[in-house]
């Protein structure tokens, strides 16, 4: 019998683990015996039953089969929707639009195509529903869809006959609100000129005598925004000011004040356009595409965050929001973009909460976003709302990490009751039968939480009980065992450490037991240094070699690990001191066999071991190496080569030299022999010396070369 975490007795047979399994309070648990098919494919297969594929084109049927098998195949979806647009009946096309937009709800292009299809069929209420969902609720940053919405609203609400002036004024007020909403969402785009022109045109329709003041403000708001085609808007503004009687002096003063801002906007436009045009703004978001123009999007976002126009905070945030919303329309499954949006909205807690709510709705299985969302509430002392986030995530994601983070949150947030809350969560985790919900990680986290939450022996004893409870299930897991060993080492419990090693190694499969054997030997080395003897270590090494002989036989250099010098290296390791030993060649040769272990760090991989030893090995390789003597036929050639020292000067472009040589017309061998014969005959006739056969007496180059060699030696 052992002590339970809450002070009661916990039986050694862990009978509480055999209690009926209860699901988490907010989650539904399915039987383990049932095979779960891919959820997304199920949705598409289920939807196919409601789609009438009979009589549809072969291309549509073929591509729909592709998206049924691969739900995130954007190319196939595009092909499907291109065929759907050709369907004459909106009743046949509507299910495809709805299915597509359920999967890609941020695609402004296809929301617009859906609205146009409904509009052609005269389904005006359906069109209003599309605009309400895509623009009023989601506020998608798609300019063409906003332009269509404004045109539809104006024709249906404003350009009609009114029964009274009040009705007309109410309609114009509604239209102005729609324009302001559109400008808030897409007014900062470099391609928003059509929206601004439509807005100003609507303002100019007002017959009020003071309406020109509102029109002037509209022009001045638009002209300072970097937009493609703003020159035409500037000309319209100048004509507007000239049309006002007795306005010349005021116009000149206003243009003088406005001109620097317009010029600055043109300068910014060039840089911003280069960044925006490099991005596909109509791309569909995907859960499988890991590189959806990440660098291009990030450059644009960072450009806006730098506030290149040096505007006030409100305008700066508006420009950043547009860039981030545009990015999320194409990358709504990117945690990083959502978090950048959160950072932009800080310290506005309500705005941050809204962004997080949208983020977790788009990515309900993202642990990182849920954890950050819960941290946000915890930092603002909204503990219950943070708890709701953890419960919501547990209902969706059966993850050990969620339970661990939930325990730590409870211990922090609930003060004196925190430890009891954490124990309750740990108990829930042990009873959660969903795959991956409770692994050995939960046990180690709970044990260490108990240990560090108590200053006396009670916390230590409870932690030991949890480790022992976990050992009954995870005795074959090396990582759990090593975690238990580290805990015992931290508490100086040497006797229990040795017992644990013997207990575990008697049942653990040899193919996974090597790290535990290594830790056991390291432990005995420590004990031997503090009063033991080397003989006990040698005996343990022999046991290790026998136990791991089959497992090590599959690895390279098996003999070295079992009986070679490499089998003794562990005796002499200390932190990173082995890296600076006098045997770098040995470790470089067998880097794949041995990995230097440092204090309180897991064994390194072969690649990391090589990287750790590389600096010292490179020093050895940089030393001059004297090989065997060259044959006589090569000695003269070698003497003509550059000195055997490290060259720090400019490096020639080999490809350039090669191309130059290929373009050069060199004489053939026969022509060279004829030239040499003619030169020899000329020297014989003149009694001269054959210059090609004899070097000059005072060769300045070679004398300097000998001096440099003498200095090196």
> 202 or 2: which carries more pLDDT confidence?
202
> 454 or 343: which carries more pLDDT confidence?
343
Please tell me the predicted confidence (pLDDT) of residue 583: 77
What does the alpha-carbon distance between residue 658 and residue 663 come to, in Å, rounded to a whole number? 9
What does the alpha-carbon distance between residue 544 and residue 497 come to, in Å, rounded to a whole number? 17
> 139 or 7: which carries more pLDDT confidence?
139
Q: What share of the chain in percent tops pLDDT 70?
A: 76
What pTM, to 2 d.p., does this model score? 0.73
Q: What share of the chain in percent tops pLDDT 90?
A: 51
Q: Please give the average per-residue pLDDT across 644-670, as a whole number.
A: 65
> Total domain count for the chain?
2
**166 in any annotated domain:** yes
**233 in any annotated domain:** yes
Joined tokens for residue 495: 């006797």
Please tell me the predicted confidence (pLDDT) of residue 26: 36
Please tell me the predicted confidence (pLDDT) of residue 2: 41
Per-residue pLDDT reduced to its tens digit, 527-539: 876 666 788 888 8
**526 in any annotated domain:** no
**210 in any annotated domain:** yes
Please tell me the predicted confidence (pLDDT) of residue 568: 76
Please tell me the predicted confidence (pLDDT) of residue 702: 72
**665 in any annotated domain:** yes
Please tell me the predicted confidence (pLDDT) of residue 42: 52
CATH number at residue 196: 1.25.40.10
pLDDT at 668 over 80: no
**140 in any annotated domain:** yes
DSSP for 88-149, written as a single string: S-HHHHHHHHHHHHHH-TT-HHHHHHHHHHHHHTT-HHHHHHHHIIIIIIS----HHHHHHH
Please tell me the predicted confidence (pLDDT) of residue 93: 92
Looking at 209, 242, 276, the residue that finishes a domain is 276
Looking at 276, 295, 312, the residue that finishes a domain is 276
Please tell me the predicted confidence (pLDDT) of residue 124: 94
User: Buried (b) or exposed (e) across 406-421, using 16+ Cβ within 10 A?
Assistant: bbbbbbebeeeebbeb
> 58 or 21: which carries more pLDDT confidence?
58
Please tell me the predicted confidence (pLDDT) of residue 96: 93
CA distances from residue 629 to 152, 623, 702, 712 in whole angstroms, order as listed: 91, 18, 21, 19
Flag the least confident range among 577-591, 620-634, 695-709: 620-634
The distance from CA 122 to its chain's CA centroid, rounded to whole angstroms, is: 45
Sign of the dihedral defined by the CA atoms of residues 368, 369, 370, 372, in that order: positive
Q: Please give the average per-residue pLDDT across 248-253, as a whole number.
A: 88
Q: Please give the average per-residue pLDDT across 490-519, as a whole number.
A: 90
Angle of helix 90-103 relative to helix 108-120, nearest 10 degrees?
160
Please tell me the predicted confidence (pLDDT) of residue 633: 64
298 cis-preceded (ω within 30 degrees of 0): no
**611 in any annotated domain:** no
Q: Which residues contact 565 (CB under 8 A, 6 or more apart)?
A: 586
Per-residue pLDDT reduced to its tens digit, 67-78: 888 889 889 999
What does the alpha-carbon distance between residue 427 and residue 413 come to, in Å, rounded to a whole number? 19
Please tell me the predicted confidence (pLDDT) of residue 647: 52
Mean pLDDT (the chain, rounded): 81
Spatial CA neighbour of 234 closest among 264, 258, 210, 212: 258
User: What residues make up the domain containing 661?
Assistant: 651-712
**136 in any annotated domain:** yes
Looking at 276, 299, 325, the residue that finishes a domain is 276
Per-residue pLDDT reduced to its tens digit, 560-590: 565 677 777 777 777 777 767 777 777 777 6
């Amino acid at each position: 019998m052992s002590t339970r975490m809450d002070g009661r007795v916990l039986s050694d047979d862990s009978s509480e683990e055999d209690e009926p399994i209860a699901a988490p309070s907010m989650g539904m648990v399915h039987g383990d015996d049932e095979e779960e098919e891919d959820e997304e494919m199920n949705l598409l297969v289920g939807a196919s039953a409601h789609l009438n594929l009979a009589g549809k084109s072969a291309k549509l049927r073929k591509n729909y089969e592709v998206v049924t098998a691969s739900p995130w195949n954007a190319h196939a979806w595009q092909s499907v929707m291109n065929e759907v647009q050709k369907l004459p009946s909106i009743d046949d096309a509507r299910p495809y639009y709805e299915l597509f937009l359920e999967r890609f709800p941020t695609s402004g292009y296809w929301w617009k195509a859906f609205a146009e299809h409904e509009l052609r069929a005269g389904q005006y209420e359906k069109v209003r529903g599309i605009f309400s969902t895509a623009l009023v609720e989601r506020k998608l940053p798609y300019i063409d869809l906003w332009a269509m919405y404004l045109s539809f609203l104006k024709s249906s609400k404003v350009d009609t006959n009114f029964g009274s002036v009040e009705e007309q004024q109410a309609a114009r007020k509604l239209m102005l609100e729609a324009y302001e909403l559109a400008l808030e969402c897409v007014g900062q785009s470099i391609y928003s000129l059509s929206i601004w022109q439509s807005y100003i045109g609507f303002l100019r329709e007002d017959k009020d005598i003071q309406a020109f003041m509102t029109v002037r403000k509209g022009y001045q708001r638009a002209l300072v925004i970097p937009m493609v085609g703003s020159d035409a808007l500037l000309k319209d503004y100048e004509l507007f000011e000239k049309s006002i009687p007795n306005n010349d002096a005021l116009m000149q003063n206003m243009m003088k004040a406005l001109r620097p801002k317009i010029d600055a906007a043109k300068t910014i436009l060039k840089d911003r356009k280069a960044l925006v045009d490099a991005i596909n703004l109509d791309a569909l978001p995907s859960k499988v595409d890991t590189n959806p123009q990440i660098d291009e999007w990030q450059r644009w976002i960072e450009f806006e965050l730098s506030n290149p126009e040096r505007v006030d905070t409100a305008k700066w945030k508006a420009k950043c929001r547009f860039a981030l919303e545009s990015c999320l329309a194409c990358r709504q499954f990117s945690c990083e973009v959502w978090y950048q949006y959160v950072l932009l909205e800080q310290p506005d807690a309500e705005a941050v909460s809204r962004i997080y709510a949208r983020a977790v709705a788009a990515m309900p299985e993202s642990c990182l976003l849920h954890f950050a969302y819960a941290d946000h509430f915890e930092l603002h002392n909204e503990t219950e709302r943070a708890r709701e986030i953890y419960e919501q995530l547990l209902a969706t994601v059966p993850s050990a990490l969620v339970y661990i983070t939930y325990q730590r949150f409870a211990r922090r947030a609930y003060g004196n009751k925190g430890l009891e809350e954490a124990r309750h969560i740990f108990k829930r985790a042990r009873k959660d039968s969903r795959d991956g919900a409770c692994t050995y990680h939960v046990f180690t986290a709970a044990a260490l939480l108990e240990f560090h939450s108590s200053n006396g022996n009670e916390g230590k004893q409870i932690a030991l009980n949890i480790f022992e409870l976990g050992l009954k299930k995870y005795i074959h897991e090396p990582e759990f065992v090593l975690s238990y060993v580290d805990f015992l080492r931290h508490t100086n419990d040497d006797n229990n450490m040795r017992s644990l090693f013997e207990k575990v190694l008697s049942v653990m499969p040899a193919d996974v037991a090597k790290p535990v054997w290594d830790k056991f030997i390291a432990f005995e080395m420590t004990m031997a240094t503090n009063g033991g003897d080397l003989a006990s270590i040698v005996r343990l090494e022999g046991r290790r070699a026998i136990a791991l002989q089959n497992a090590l036989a599959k690895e390279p250099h098996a003999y070295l690990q079992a009986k070679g010098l490499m089998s003794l290296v562990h005796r002499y390791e200390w932190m990173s001191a082995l890296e600076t030993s006098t045997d770098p060649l040995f470790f470089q040769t067998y880097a794949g066999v041995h990995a230097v272990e440092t204090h309180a760090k897991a064994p390194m991989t072969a690649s990391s071991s090589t990287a750790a030893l590389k600096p010292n090995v490179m020093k050895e390789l940089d030393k001059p190496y004297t090989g065997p003597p060259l044959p006589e036929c090569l000695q003269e050639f070698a003497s003509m080569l550059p000195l055997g020292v490290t060259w720090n000067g400019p490096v020639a472009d080999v490809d350039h030299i090669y191309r130059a040589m290929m373009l050069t017309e060199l004489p053939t061998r026969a022509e060279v022999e004829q030239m040499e014969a003619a030169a020899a005959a000329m020297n014989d006739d003149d009694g001269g010396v054959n210059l090609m056969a004899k070097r000059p007496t005072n060769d300045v180059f070679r004398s300097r070369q000998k001096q440099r060699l003498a200095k090196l030696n």
